[in-house]
Amino acid sequence: MENGVGEAPLEICSLQQLVSEHSSLQANTHRFSNVNELYSINESPAPIDIRRLEKELPKLRITLDGLVTQGTLSESAKATVSMYAFAALMEKKLAAAKAAAAEEAARKAKESKEKLEDAVSRDSCDVPKTVGSLKAVSAASGAGRRELVHLVDVQKSVQNTLESLNQNEEDEDEYSHRRRRFRRVKLYGENKEDDGLEPEEDSDAKQLKGIWIRRFVRSGKDSL
């Protein structure tokens, strides 16, 4: 049996197998940034290098404490207060960045686990084996034999038939034209045929035709 467009069960089964095998292939889509996004520098904070800050911030603290202890910097000086405030601010940012990185790692681990579980559940269905079983059943029942034809095949057949008929008509017209030309050339000669004009009757033929016409008129039943 075929469906409404003339597809046999074996064809449908093969098509489903092809779709299943290539379903993971996806076209890469390129995302073009908005013009406003290119110049919105301050909307997103600069990324923090956690590893670098973990090494450099302790050094900054040690350096500031050493300068204050040695008396190089006054603990109450504005510059010293600003540098300590900067160190405290960077330590807060470092702590926030480490917390965000931990949350992101946990989220990615969860997504990977869900994808793995989904892949395992989908892989439990053996698509090639299922398709092979369906093909075997279809072949055994004789359902794979085509009895209808695709619409595209019908359209191609009609188109080829019309082209063949048109070609035959053109050939017949060409053949008839050549036969007529051959007869005219045979009767009146090549020169009369080439000039495209009807051949003229000679004077003797005109006189004979006139005599026969007069005889017919005189011998008719209505003649006087």
Residue 112 sits in the same domain as residue 203? no
Residue 100 sits in the same domain as residue 160? no
Residue 93 sits in the same domain as residue 196? no
Residue 157 sits in the same domain as residue 202? yes
- C-alpha to C-alpha distance for 182 and 196, rounded to whole angstroms: 14
Tell me how far CA of residue 189 lies from CA of 174, 181, 199, in angstroms.
Answer: 21, 10, 9
Residue 14 sits in the same domain as residue 90? yes
User: Quick check: 83 pLDDT over 70?
Assistant: yes
Residue 192 lies in a domain: yes
Residue 178 lies in a domain: yes
Which residue among 123, 148, 173 closes a domain? 148
To the question of pTM greater than 0.85 for the whole model, the response is no
Q: 8-44 pLDDT, tens per residue?
A: 777 777 777 777 777 655 544 444 454 454 444 455 5
Amino acid letter for position 194? D
The per-residue b/e assignment along 65-80, b for 16 or more CB within 10 angstroms, e otherwise, is eeebeeeebeeeeeeb
Tell me which residue range forms the domain holding 100: 9-22+44-148
Residue 2 lies in a domain: no
Which residue among 101, 128, 148 closes a domain? 148
- What pLDDT was estimated at residue 202? 56
Residue 51 lies in a domain: yes
Residue 137 lies in a domain: yes
- Whole-number average pLDDT of the chain: 71
